[in-house]
């Protein structure tokens, strides 16, 4: 069975030792910052469970489409870490399962896209002794939270008079009022619950590597608050001002780009936030992959409400084309993509008709994720705005969360003075596959 003798204590961190063989607590909760090794611990625990006991393990994420590249892949690594040959297992993707051939014990991988997905998922031959919910925050942010977890527990504990345990892993949200943190505080009061918090400092440096440690310390140097959240897993709270790290001296270039700087710009793209009575904005950005910078280039802003003059989609499309001609004259290239507000179908059709040189992309509109990515780019000073982007500079210092939403644990930006903020977020999200490479690896590789 084994390639070599492996001690569990050599492959999990000391903070996890008390959890590994604990069968007294039904609920085991692990939260951490980045690189706390909770995912590798969970996979090792799941694989060890099926080789050491006749049982079934259920490994869950909120969504099925996240399983293969995360927990399933981590369990395959765990087999190697435990020094066991994969030939001792039946490993399948459809259905996604790992079965230990010697005793028939199986890890079942499943999502819970709907609250009923786990109903009937009972192993009739082997008792389910371990249920793991990974990335628990997703169950609260995009599911039914505590009710959903209770339903999952009821599904798998039913008829199980033997050993049974549920484990939960998550990274702490910024907001201490988030529903998951309220759930955690309530769970910690229960006698059947054990809670462990870890961060990268609990992990041997040789496991993490010097570059990862350097990434953490680099963030500490540029933004201590972000470091405490990302790396230490602390609920740092939310400033009302969303881009609190914006510094006009660092983030605004009060001159035109030099010819040398212009020549380094690999590509230019645009982002559009559209309004009929509210403002419509076009923001243009250039990507300099040599210097690893995003440069703001040009801006168009028009508000029918403020100006008293309405513009039609056709008018806006002509204005957009004119801005593209200015960009081409100044930088010798047209924008490649325009990431456009999904609601602006009429404008999109007009731009498509008169601007055949540009590709239209529906703007990615995951607000929370987008804000987080913009914050990281700004914290590491990877974006420089042009003095020409007057509205961005005006809005960014006032762009705020709604106070009541923070108190309710469901933080939402105020829907005022946010048009350029939306456009900027569309751009960062749309070009993330390039921009993330400008950041320390463990920050940029975040999903």
pLDDT digit string, tens, across residues 416-433: 889 999 999 999 999 999
Identify whether residues 173 and 28 lie together within a single domain: yes
Full strand arrangement of the beta sheet holding 27-32: 89-93, 96-100, 106-111, 56-61, 128-133, 165-171, 27-32, 193-198
Report the distance separating Cα 269 and Cα 333, nearest Å: 10
Q: What average pLDDT does this structure show over 316-333? A: 96
Identify whether residues 186 and 315 lie together within a single domain: no
Q: What is the CATH number of the domain that holds 345?
A: 3.30.420.280
CA 327, 331, 333, 338 torsion-angle sign:
negative
Within its chain, how far is the Cα of 34 from the centroid? 12
Check whether 1 has a pLDDT greater than 50: no
Q: Return the structure tokens found at 10.
A: 């050599």
Residues 6+ apart with CB under 8 A from 346: 313
How many Cα atoms sit within 13 Å of 347 on the Cβ side? 28
Identify whether residues 291 and 432 lie together within a single domain: yes
Identify whether residues 291 and 418 lie together within a single domain: yes
Number of domains in the chain: 2
Reduced to 3 states, what is the DSSP secondary structure of residue 187?
helix
Q: Return the structure tokens found at 45.
A: 């625990």
Identify whether residues 147 and 265 lie together within a single domain: no
Identify whether residues 204 and 253 lie together within a single domain: no
Q: Return the structure tokens found at 336.
A: 């490649």
Question: Which of 189, 209, 229 is at the close of a domain?
Answer: 209
Give the pTM: 0.77
Q: How far apart are the first and last CA of the chain?
A: 36
What are the tens digits of pLDDT across the range 352-410?
999 999 999 988 888 989 999 999 999 999 999 999 999 999 999 989 998 888 787 77
Residue of 368, 411, 410 whose CA lies nearest to 145: 410
Question: Which of 186, 209, 232 is at the close of a domain?
Answer: 209
b/e burial code for range 422-442 (CB count within 10 A of at least 16 → b):
bbbbbbbbbbbeebbebbbeb
Identify whether residues 162 and 281 lie together within a single domain: no
Let me know if residue 392 belongs to a domain: yes
What are the tens digits of pLDDT across the range 6-29?
899 999 999 999 999 998 999 999
Residue of 213, 191, 377, 223 whose CA lies nearest to 292: 377
Residues 6+ apart with CB under 8 A from 245: 223, 226, 375, 378, 379
Q: What average pLDDT does this structure show over 132-153? A: 92
Question: Which of 161, 178, 209 is at the close of a domain?
Answer: 209
Identify whether residues 321 and 389 lie together within a single domain: yes
Reduced to 3 states, what is the DSSP secondary structure of residue 166?
strand
Which phi and psi (to 5°) does residue 170 adopt? -160, 160
Identify whether residues 177 and 254 lie together within a single domain: no
Structural domain span for residue 79: 8-209
Q: What is the CATH number of the domain that holds 163?
A: 3.40.50.300
Identify whether residues 25 and 100 lie together within a single domain: yes
Report the distance separating Cα 320 and Cα 347, nearest Å: 10
Let me know if residue 22 belongs to a domain: yes
DSSP result, 279-316: EEEEEEEEEETTTTEEEEEEEEEEEHHHHS----HHHH
Check whether 120 has a pLDDT greater than 90: no
Using CA atoms, how far residue 263 sits from 137, 288, 295, in Å, is: 44, 9, 12
* Beta bridge partner(s), residue 29: 168, 195
Check whether 158 has a pLDDT greater than 90: no
Within its chain, how far is the Cα of 48 from the centroid? 29
Query: What mean pLDDT is reported for the chain?
Result: 91
Angle (deg, nearest 10), helices 145-157 and 179-188: 50
Q: How big is the chain by its Cα radius of gyration, in Å?
A: 25
Identify whether residues 336 and 271 lie together within a single domain: yes
Identify whether residues 142 and 286 lie together within a single domain: no
Let me know if residue 33 belongs to a domain: yes
Q: What is the pLDDT of residue 203?
A: 96
H-run or E-run covering 25: none
Q: Identify the band that residue 321 occupies on the pLDDT scale cut at 50, 70 and 90.
A: very high
Let me know if residue 126 belongs to a domain: yes
Q: What average pLDDT does this structure show over 236-241? A: 82
CA diameter of the chain: 78
Let me know if residue 391 belongs to a domain: yes
Let me know if residue 223 belongs to a domain: no
Let me know if residue 218 belongs to a domain: no
Calculate what percentage of the chain has a pLDDT beyond 90. Answer: 75
Let me know if residue 328 belongs to a domain: yes
Q: What is the pLDDT of residue 48?
A: 97
Q: What is the pLDDT of residue 4?
A: 64
Residue of 280, 254, 252 whose CA lies nearest to 423: 280
């Amino acid at each position: 069975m084994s390639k070599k003798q492996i001690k569990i204590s050599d492959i999990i961190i000391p903070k996890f030792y008390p959890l590994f063989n604990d069968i007294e607590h039904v609920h085991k909760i692990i939260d951490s910052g980045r690189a706390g090794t909770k995912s590798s611990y969970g996979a090792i625990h799941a694989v060890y469970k099926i080789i050491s006991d006749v049982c079934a393990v259920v490994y869950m994420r909120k969504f099925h489409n996240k399983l293969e590249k995360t927990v399933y892949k981590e369990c395959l690594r765990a087999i190697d870490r435990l020094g066991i040959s994969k030939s001792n297992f039946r490993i399948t993707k459809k259905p996604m399962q790992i079965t230990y051939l010697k005793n028939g014990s199986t890890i079942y991988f499943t999502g819970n896209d709907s609250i009923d997905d786990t109903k009937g998922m009972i192993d009739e031959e082997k008792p389910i002794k371990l249920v793991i919910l990974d990335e628990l925050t997703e169950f609260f942010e995009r599911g039914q939270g505590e009710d959903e977890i209770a339903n999952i527990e009821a599904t798998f504990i039913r008829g199980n008079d033997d050993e049974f345990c549920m484990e939960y892993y998550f990274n702490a949200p910024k907001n201490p009022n988030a529903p998951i943190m309220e759930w955690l505080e309530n769970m910690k009061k229960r006698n059947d619950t054990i809670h462990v918090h870890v961060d990268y400092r609990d992990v041997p440096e040789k496991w993490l590597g010097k570059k990862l440690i350097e990434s953490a310390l680099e963030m500490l140097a540029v933004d201590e608050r972000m470091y405490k959240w990302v790396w230490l897993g602390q609920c740092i709270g939310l400033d009302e001002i969303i881009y609190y790290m914006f510094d006009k001296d660092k983030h605004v270039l009060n001159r035109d780009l030099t010819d040398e700087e212009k020549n380094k710009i690999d590509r230019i793209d645009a982002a559009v936030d559209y309004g009929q009575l509210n403002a419509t904005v076009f923001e243009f950005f250039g990507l300099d992959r040599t210097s690893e910078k995003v440069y703001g280039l040009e801006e168009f802003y028009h508000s029918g409400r403020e100006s008293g003059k309405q513009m039609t989609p056709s008018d806006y499309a002509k204005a957009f084309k004119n801005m593209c001609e200015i960009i081409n004259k100044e930088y010798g290239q047209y924008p490649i993509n325009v990431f456009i507000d999904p609601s602006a179908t009429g404008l999109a059709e007009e731009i498509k008709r008169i601007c055949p040189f540009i590709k239209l992309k529906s703007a990615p509109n995951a607000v929370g994720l987008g804000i987080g990515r913009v914050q990281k780019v700004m914290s590491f000073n990877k974006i420089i705005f042009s003095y020409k982007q007057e509205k961005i500079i005006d809005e960014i210092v006032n762009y705020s969360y709604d106070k009541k939403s923070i108190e309710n644990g469901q933080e939402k930006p105020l829907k005022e003075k946010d048009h350029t903020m939306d456009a900027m977020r569309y751009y960062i999200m749309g070009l993330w596959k390039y921009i993330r490479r400008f950041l320390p690896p463990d920050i940029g590789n975040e999903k």
